[in-house]
Amino acid sequence: MEHPLKKKITTHSLRVAVIGLGYVGLPLAITFAEAGFQVTGIDIDSQKVENASRGESYIPDVSSTSLQALIETKRLDFTTDYAALDDVDAIIICVPTPLLKTRNPDISCIISAIQQVRAHLHSGQLVALESTTYPGTTDEVILPELEASGLKVGVDFFLVFSPERIDPGNPHFNIRTTPKIVGGITGACTALGQAFYEAAIEKVVAVSSTRVAEMTKLLENTFRAVNIGLVNEIAIICEKLHINVWEVIDAAATKPFGFMPFLPGPGLGGHCIAVDPHYLSWKLKTLDYTARFIELAAEINTSMPHYVVDKICLALNEQRRNFNGATVLVLGVAYKRNISDVRESPALDIISALITRKARVIYNDEYVPLLALRDQALHSQPLSSGLLQAADCVVIITDHSYYDVPWIVREAHCIVDTRNMTQGYNDQKIFRL
């Protein structure tokens, strides 16, 4: 006999709530609304709720036009009031899961959200967690909290984990076109979770448990972090051997099997790759095991901003300058090209280190007009010949597509290029990783 929740999914009469309206939650709310569901977005940040309610997008991958259209058709609304959960059938949790200063997981936002869900949990609801976390969170932390309501999982309510796979700024893949992983506490949970996501997403892959789903996300990002750590070390090795690492990577990439190119850079950034492997490493420490590959990759990747600062020091020394009083122009502070996200960006560590060494730091990033550091705020400066010529050193941190590289090379006194944007220029004033 078909479950009533399955019928609501197939008839699009199911009502959805998305908790957390950041880089994951807002695009997800729009995706389900565009699929024909009634969606309510919930966030404790009243400014986000006010902006979204006015149809003003604060997420680069979400257009205000599409947001306004869904609001006008009453498919989408926003609130700070968790009482809205009383009237929904499916709840998706997309709250932040950062690291503490000790590099341990901070799941306080998940706990806070699930406590609100428990207060409004009723029979027939589906609850999905998308926030990246360590294996065991769903069944060890969330399940006991929800069953404390007196309702039984797999019978009265249904619980799944489905990791977000957002790639900000990716023009080829979005939520709808990126395959979705779903794992439930019970078989019924998985089946309903799969049916729910299939109503809005092109391909859904069911796995045997929430732990498998949680581990899948950590494997994806740990794979990237470890390989980036490897290629960053290769870049350092190549410099010591006086070999162009970029040429080596290009040559190796011609092999049609057994090699996947990764590129060196100034360090890891973004919420996922810079954070997620630490969740897995922490979990293993509780089991008296050291994740050595993860720890080593993290050590190399976190050292890269300091390596870049050393490279800037070398570039200045070539001009008989030191940090004290030198003007350093940083090009790009977002953690990746053509987006505005500065979370965990290596540019933050590089700029802080330069300021500590008494350099005068200015930056340009059209995607990030204001950069808030611990003790000061910097504003993006418009690029001009005068700005480039006034800098003792120009440092390319983010390879935004709007940068006119030939012009920059022509105007700058010296350049430290961490992204190989100046490939093909053999000028002695250019210092690369």
H, E, C per residue of the chain: CCCHHHHHHHCCCCEEEEECCCCCHHHHHHHHHHCCCEEEEECCCHHHHHHHHCCCCCCCCCCHHHHHHHHHCCCEEEECCHHHHHHCCEEEECCCCCECCCCCECCHHHHHHHHHHHHHCCCCCEEEECCCCCCCHHHHHHHHHHHCCCCCECCCEEEEECCCCCCCCCCCCCCCCCCEEEEECCHHHHHHHHHHHHCCCCCEEEECCHHHHHHHHHHHHHHHHHHHHHHHHHHHHHHHCCCCHHHHHHHHCCCCCCCCCCCCCCCCCCCCCCCHHHHHHHHHHCCCCCCHHHHHHHHHHHHHHHHHHHHHHHHHHCCCCCCCCCEEEEECCCCCCCCCCCCCCHHHHHHHHHHHCCCEEEEECCCCCEEECCCCEEECCCCCHHHHHHCCEEEECCCCCCCCHHHHHHHCCCEEECCCCCCCCCCCCEEEC
Q: Give how far the C-alpha of residue 287 lies from the chain's centroid of Cα atoms, to the nearest Å.
A: 27
Report the alpha-carbon distance of residue 1 to residue 88 in Å, rounded: 23
- Report residue 234: phi and psi, to 5°: -60, -40
Q: How many CB atoms are closer than 10 A to CB 366?
A: 15
Contact 80, 53 (CB under 8 A): no
For the question of residue 272 being annotated catalytic, the response is yes
- For tokens 């012009």, name the residue: 407
Name the active-site residue from 94, 109, 272, 313. 272
Q: Is the dihedral of CA 402, 405, 406, 412 positive or negative?
A: positive
Catalytic residue list: 272
